[in-house]
Structure 1
Amino acid sequence: MVRELVMPKLGLTMTEGVLAEWRVSPGQPFRSGDVLLVVETDKIASEVEADSDGVLIETTIPAGETVAVGTPIARWSADGAGAAPAPEPAEAPAAKAAPTPVAANTRPLPAPVRANGERILSTPLARRRAEGLGVDLGMVTGSGPRGRIKVADVEAAAQTRPAPQPAPQVPKVEASAGERSKPTTLQATAARRLTAAKRDVPHFYLAAEAEVTELAALRDRLNADTESGLPRISMTHLVLAAVGRALAAMPEMDRVWDDEPPGGAILALGRGDVGMAVDTPRGLVAPVLRGAAGLPLDRLAAEAASLTRRARDGRLTEEDFQGGAVTVSNAGMHNVTYMTSIINPGQSSILGVGSVRSVFRPDEAGAPVLKRELGLVLSADHRLFDGVTALAFLNRIIAGLERPLRLLRTP
């Protein structure tokens, strides 16, 4: 019996995804649990596994296309029926090269406008194709309804534009010998998203230290109570709690910039979610801790530990990346004083956390006193925040870390 394979819905808010890669070729059998394809959304690259044995008959959507949820993308059979035998190799006239697949972007590209401010009607896929081909949409005539520009219009314009003049010859410099390897889908997705974030988001940075002698002592006392059965508390859990409490006190920091409408828009989230960077065998990911602003410390630690385990086991879903305006990225275990981080795409700030350092500071009488300090760097989106607002947020985080008993109370 021949069946259809459709684009899966990987999260409640997912409406479309990029079919990034086929892992099974037409005519190839697969077993339950084998990875059939890789789907990218604006948050994550997900491997889609087969839920039963079968044979892939044909793919109807090539890799690189953006596909709506529920759209048929392939045909398969549980018993191999309908699978065509592999054709014998034969001489054939050279076929016209297929268009290069469109690379997935982190967010839909904003609709372009003409010099007079008039919006250029175009599909999201056409905008991505134009960016990849270097085509000016203002010079393209659309064939769609109301003159909307489609992918075919962009490709036709690319073929008819004048050929560029050859650049003057320069001496060729031989590249150093080295081994090339193809990045994983997750690495390629992260590279595109972070490049876009660093290029398009106007970052500014605030650095400060928190005195954490009391904080470290509180953590040690909590973890010494091994009979309670409660989760162990880490420095990351305490920083997440401090950020959540600061977010509850300053809900104006729980906002993000939305590029989609012309001119942009400010989106207030108001849920107190906080992202947490997790190092995994597949690369760095940043799932979101739901309602961190209002979680008791023990429950926050338990849910953060669960997220970390699922991230390292490769069991995160699209929903685990939804929401959140701020992320905590703790590199303190790697012997670094400060870490200046790139804002996670779709968010508005990120807190880089360094290692705890023992330093001597003068007391009120000028005598040296040994302190334990934690280096913090807040990266913020200047479209949303000015230095005063972001610094007030950073100081609230520091106040929570320096008065750690407050973290035992929910806001």
Structure 2
Amino acid sequence: MTALAEIVMPKLGLTMTEGLLAEWRVQPGARVAAGDILFVVETEKIATDIEASGDGEIVELLVAAGSTVPVGMPVARWTGAAAGAPEAPRAAEPAQPAAAPLPAASGGRILATPLARRLARERGVDLTGVSGSGPRGRIKAKDVPEARAQVPASAAVPTAGEFIALDRVRAASARRLTQAKQEIPHFYVGAAAEISRLLALRDEWRDIPDAPRMTVTHAVLAAIGRALHAMPELNRVWEGEGWRRLSSPDVGLAVDTPRGLFAPVLHDAGRLSLGTVASRANGLVERARAGRLSPDELRGGSITLSNVGMHGARFLVPIVNPGQSMILGLGAMESLFRPDAEGAPALRREITLVLAADHRVLDGAAAAAFLARIVAFLEKPLALLIAPAEGSI
């Protein structure tokens, strides 16, 4: 007889003690392969698809969907390898604050995902009469918009146009950005960087055998990290009624994917060589677009880079992400003539950088100095080739 192994509730973060098993994606008797989604876990911060660590057959589900389960508790048994001190899940969604449960008219508990409860509150929908499409009739986010038709005709409901419900990622992004603009006192500083030397370095880089693909975006990432490393007193975020200084020069990178906008974090970017930054950033972008980011890759850092230059925009005035204190908008390169030191026209290749910052954490002088340090690294990029800690390319 084949020995059975347990699948347990995984620990998705350092502080996680329990998680909501929001939805089963498999049933007893199902054969699964490595990478197949077994169930969805929702915590206060993220919603994560938990994947099979190998091949096997699901024998028994030990926990019903909608249950809150302590970390390490078995949730299923299967014929595969012991899964659940499983590997870190390979797909994660951005943070979604948990919603308070809605009371049921009969006194029983309504089975609904936290996002569905939030949407119901925002749209004034009573979940009591909503039919859910999830396991055991669990109400999912996509079910809530359909319930708008149940609003009495006397209510002010728009009749023209088409209502489009946001998916989980875009809904979370919309909430977080709204929160950011309402709670964070933004201010902005801008500068232009002349990148002729950087472009020449990039062109030579392409001739290096087996070198990772390197772009201007990678150089800006490296420059931000190096500026944080050089000015550690600015690597801080707002927390409660004060600052928290971060120990690692981590930098986020906004990535547009078919599932929405993600900002994976390149950890320790300020202590890496440009080649390592390029290689690791390429991996982050690939995993973001494939939906295989780990929870650890979606947290940390005081700053994010958002590049709209690839879309032809000259500049971007961005919104600081909640939990961070800065974000740098990067525009497209422009070729233009400006007077040199002697007044003669000189061709310059420039990119426009706009730094948005939290005024609770930085003042204008500090932000301007930080941006100037980034520009200096971009205009003299050879320093980025060598990691400051280990002194190697």
TM-score (norm 1): 0.69
Q: Give the Å deviation of 1:212.
A: 1.4
Distance 1:188 1:28 in 2: 34
1:1-400 paired onto structure 2 within 5 Å: 6-11=8-13, 13-16=14-17, 19=20, 21-24=22-25, 29=30, 31-32=32-33, 33-41=35-43, 44-51=46-53, 52-54=56-58, 57=61, 59-60=63-64, 62=66, 68-71=70-73, 74=75, 95-96=106-107, 98-99=109-110, 101=112, 103=114, 172=156, 174-178=158-162, 180-181=164-165, 183-223=166-206, 225-226=207-208, 228-259=209-240, 264-400=241-377
Q: Secondary structure at the match of 1:217?
A: helix
CA contact (8 A) 2:251 2:301 kept: yes
Q: Secondary structure at the match of 2:333?
A: strand
Give the letter aligned to residue 189 of structure 2: L
Q: Secondary structure at the match of 2:188?
A: strand
Q: Secondary structure at the match of 2:300?
A: coil
Give the letter aligned to residue 194 of structure 1: L
Cα 1:173/1:284, change in 2 over 3 Å: closer
Give the letter aligned to residue 278 of structure 2: A
Q: Secondary structure at the match of 2:354?
A: strand
Tell me the matched-pair count: 326
Q: Give the Å deviation of 1:208.
A: 1.8
Q: Secondary structure at the match of 2:331?
A: strand
Give the letter aligned to residue 45 of structure 1: A
CA contact (8 A) 1:352 1:377 kept: yes
- Deviations, residues 88-143 of structure 1 (Å, cap 9, x unaligned): xxxxxx94463575737xxxxxxxxxxxxxxxxxxxxxxx99xx69xxxxxxxxxx
> What percentage of aligned pairs have identical amino acids?
46
Distance 1:231 1:19 in 2: 40
Q: Secondary structure at the match of 1:229?
A: coil
Gaps of 5+ in 1: 80-93, 105-127, 134-168
Distance 1:17 1:403 in 2: 49
The residue that corresponds to 1:163 in the other structure is none
Give the letter aligned to residue 188 of structure 2: Y
Distance 2:282 2:38 in 1: 30
Q: Give the Å deviation of 1:407.
A: 2.0
Q: Give the Å deviation of 1:323.
A: 2.3
Q: Give the Å deviation of 1:77.
A: 6.6
Distance 1:230 1:309 in 2: 17
CA contact (8 A) 2:235 2:245 kept: yes
Q: Secondary structure at the match of 2:212?
A: coil
CA contact (8 A) 2:29 2:57 kept: no
Distance 1:383 1:15 in 2: 29
Distance 1:174 1:54 in 2: 46
Distance 2:284 2:239 in 1: 27
Distance 1:295 1:336 in 2: 29
Give the letter aligned to residue 190 of structure 2: A
The residue that corresponds to 1:89 in the other structure is none
Q: Give the Å deviation of 1:179.
A: 5.2
CA contact (8 A) 1:18 1:39 kept: yes
Q: Secondary structure at the match of 1:267?
A: strand
Distance 1:37 1:47 in 2: 6
Cα 1:60/1:389, change in 2 over 3 Å: same
CA contact (8 A) 1:19 1:37 kept: no
Q: Give the Å deviation of 1:27.
A: 7.0
Cα 1:302/1:103, change in 2 over 3 Å: same
The residue that corresponds to 1:159 in the other structure is none
Which is worse superposed, 195-204 or 170-179? 170-179
The residue that corresponds to 2:142 in the other structure is none
Distance 2:372 2:310 in 1: 23
Give the letter aligned to residue 16 of structure 2: T
Cα 1:186/1:68, change in 2 over 3 Å: farther
Cα 1:42/1:97, change in 2 over 3 Å: closer
CA contact (8 A) 1:24 1:30 kept: no
Q: Give the Å deviation of 1:285.
A: 1.5
CA contact (8 A) 2:26 2:39 kept: no
Gaps of 5+ in 2: 81-104, 123-152, 389-393
Distance 1:190 1:17 in 2: 24
